[in-house]
Amino acid sequence: MPGRQHLANRLLTMKYVSTRGSAPTLDFAGVTLAGLASDGGLYVPEEWPQFTKDQIADMRGLPYAEVAARVMEPFVGDCLTPERLRELTAKAYGRFAHKAVTPLVQLDEQHWVLELFHGPTLAFKDVALQMLGLLFEEFLAREEGSLTIVGATSGDTGSAAIDAVAGLDNVEIFMLHPKGRVSDVQRRQMTTVRAPNVHNIAIDGSFDDAQAMVKRIFADADVTATHRIGAVNSINWARLMAQVVYYFTSALQLGGPERKVAFSVPTGNFGDVFAGHVAARMGLPIEKLLVATNVNDILHRALADGDYSTGTVTATAAPSMDIQVSSNFERLLFDVGGRDGLAMADQMVAFDAQKAMRLTNAQREGAAALFASARADADDMAQAMRWAFEQCDEMLDPHTAIGLHAARTAGIDPTVPVVTLATAHPAKFPDAVERATGLRPPLPTRVGDLFAREESYVELPGTYEAVRAHILEHAA
């Protein structure tokens, strides 16, 4: 079949380089198991694979799992055969509750929402983590290795990762959450999963404290000498790769690649919106990527005037966006700023010391070509939620509402369709939705008897020593 991308790419081995220029290059299996690069940077493909317009148009109307395989194939290189890749995408996306996997819903003449929450844990994290769990299993079985995943969560990553790896033989997962600071639904989605390889830890402290402990584990030579530590947050390249797919499927439904589409993305760690940048690099015509932030607006300031400086985090109704430092922004700065790893390392070391930096002219201009940004406060968020509910009969969660606010205020040409990524099911955040709309969204039946099941987790003091000792004692 002429024009099929996988035939052209199966001979290539995709190499991955670190944004900080001094870690070894790895292949796809290597970056999947590695997480963070050894020089502190993040792995990115050495070059972007390209699709022609015809190759993109050929994907129109195909099942989601097949488009996923075509988009992932050049990144996977020769680490999986095309047949095996298709088995994995079929299995990962077969678990979604909607036949379209990520259905597109129209709000009005210009606006659409892309529902990414039909996976097992009701947030878009499932789209990537269902695939990542299978990739871990595949690559570990091949080398008869094992992986100890250590992660921190403010809610959605934890449940999606636990669902994806529960019961796997060669994987242990330790998930830290800040005690009392995740919602009941979010905590129960993690703690009611009963599998011997799942270890939930509630720590005394904030999400930032939990995240800092995880970073120390990765850098703790005594731990890494005996355990291979894996990452499930979006520093892991395979997660971003899986998220590129729905930019293609949704653009194709709205007239792409002949017609440009804009996307509005509720942004925290800059992973989801970076996947849109990757889609554009691969040849998908994208009008604009709107980076939607809440009052924790470091990314909005960086994109608007080059000022990347951290403040204090304000807790909001959209907790997955309550972030100061967006790890994946480094991938963008590297890619649009000349791909100079050593310069990037200097810039990030200075940023770590001063908690502030200016973007270079190349970084600012490179980002401005595709990205715009907007900030929504609590009123903007509630208004967007009410508008969608009253005008369009669509209930949005707080994160998605912030994305819609950006979509409706960004001044996109009215002939260009704008897709807002719906990153969580409204029932994950019932209190905020009820406050804005007066209606409490019910949990979908697929999450079952979440509130009847028994929970299991340990509570630990917020010290590194306590967490480290617990992990070493319980890791296989």
Residues near ligand PLP, by CB under 6 A = 123, 125, 156, 234, 266-272, 320-321, 399, 423-424
Q: Decide: 294 and 268 in contact? Cβ < 8 Å.
A: no
Q: How far is the CB of 356 from ligand PLP (least distance, A)?
A: 21
For residue 262, the minimal CB distance to ligand PLP (Å) is 17
Closer residue to ligand PLP (CB): 26 or 299? 299
> Of 139 and 263, which CB lies nearer to ligand PLP in the complex structure?
263
Measured between its terminal Cα atoms, the distance across the chain in Å is 47
- Give the C-alpha separation, 277 to 299, whole Å: 15
- To ligand PLP, the closest distance from the beta carbon of 160 in angstroms equals 8
Q: Name the residue type at position 469.
A: A
Which residues are the active-site residues? Answer: 125
Cα separation of 138 and 440, whole Å?
41
Q: What sign does the CA torsion over 176, 27, 170, 128 have?
A: positive
If you search the block for the tokens 């070059």, which residue do you land on? 47
Residue 89's contacts (CB-CB under 8 Å, 6 or more residues apart) are 65, 66, 68, 69, 72, 131
Residue with smaller CB distance to ligand PLP, 201 or 424: 424
Residue 457 CA to residue 225 CA, distance in Å, equals: 27
Instruction: Find out whether the peptide bond into 49 is cis, omega within 30 degrees of 0.
Output: no
Using a 10 angstrom Cβ sphere, with 0-12 exposed, 13-18 middle and 19 or more buried, the burial of residue 463 is: middle
Taking the least distance from each CB to ligand PLP, the nearer of 19 and 320 is 320
Sign, CA dihedral 219-221-223-226, equals positive
Q: Nearer Cβ to ligand PLP, position 154 or 170?
A: 154
Q: How far is the CB of 421 from ligand PLP (least distance, A)?
A: 8
Shortest CB 326 distance to ligand PLP, Å = 7
Q: Which of 39, 35, 50, 21 is nearest to 237 (CA)?
A: 35
Q: Using the minimum distance from each CB to ligand PLP, give the nearer residue, 80 or 242.
A: 242
Q: How far is the CB of 312 from ligand PLP (least distance, A)?
A: 19
